[in-house]
Amino acid sequence: MLMEKERLLLIAYGKKLVEAGLTKGTGGNLSIFDRAHGQVAITPSGIDFFEIQPEDIVIIDLDGQVVEGKRVPSSEWAMHIMPYKYRDDIDAVIHAHTMYSTVLGCLRQDLPATHYMIAVAGENVRVADYATYGTMELAKNAFEAMKDRRAVILANHGLLAGAQDLLNAFNIIEEVEYCAEVYTKARAIGEPVILPKEEMELMAVKFKSYGQRVSTKKD
């Protein structure tokens, strides 16, 4: 079975998305890129995260063709593959239907730097132009809006994040959603103060080490 370790990670983090309240039902999808072999392990379409078995994970190539697996890969496979093809800093992608980021996506409003932890993703998080889910148009829109960032809000849809591994992609989802919640609630009371560009440039330097997660678990 190809990418056995990666299959287990996808299952574990899919469950974590639900347990952390970052997605609902079968909403969202996860993938890991094996750059050495040009293969992607991705969660299947329409199966509850708590029911997915290792053999349900689908292995596809960078053209979306199934290499191994009997299930249908996530309908958002193209959105996962775009950063793997054209960026060298992303080897894991998570898409989730988070609450507060989606609220901003419905307002078509970027998430500004009201909290310094947004630096895990960039100086802000943009909202990508709307397109129907599972389309190449959505994949391209998300890719463009995520340039120089590690996360993007999908208009009227959800949140997408990418990182060097699944641990850090999950961390970005968590932190961006936290920042979105803080910003949304602050707006309900008054006008949030946005951190200046100079401060976010400093955060970008500091977060080269501070914002990175490292697993302490042994294989």
Residues annotated as part of the active site: 76
Please state, in angstroms and rounded to a whole number, the distance separating the CA atoms of residues 41 and 185: 37
Q: Which of 100, 126, 105 is nearest to 179 (CA)?
A: 100
Residues 6+ apart with CB under 8 A from 48: 25, 26
Please state, in angstroms and rounded to a whole number, the distance separating the CA atoms of residues 102 and 95: 12
- Which SS3 state, helix, strand or coil, does residue 103 take? helix
Within 10 Å of residue 205's Cβ, how many Cβ atoms?
10
Strands 158-163, 66-68: pairing is unpaired
The number of CA neighbours under 13 Å toward the Cβ of 148 is: 5
Please state, in angstroms and rounded to a whole number, the distance separating the CA atoms of residues 206 and 219: 29
Q: Outline where DSSP puts E strands in the chain.
A: 29-34, 39-42, 58-61, 66-68, 92-96, 127-128, 151-154, 158-163
- Which SS3 state, helix, strand or coil, does residue 203 take? helix
Encoded tokens for 137: 């148009």
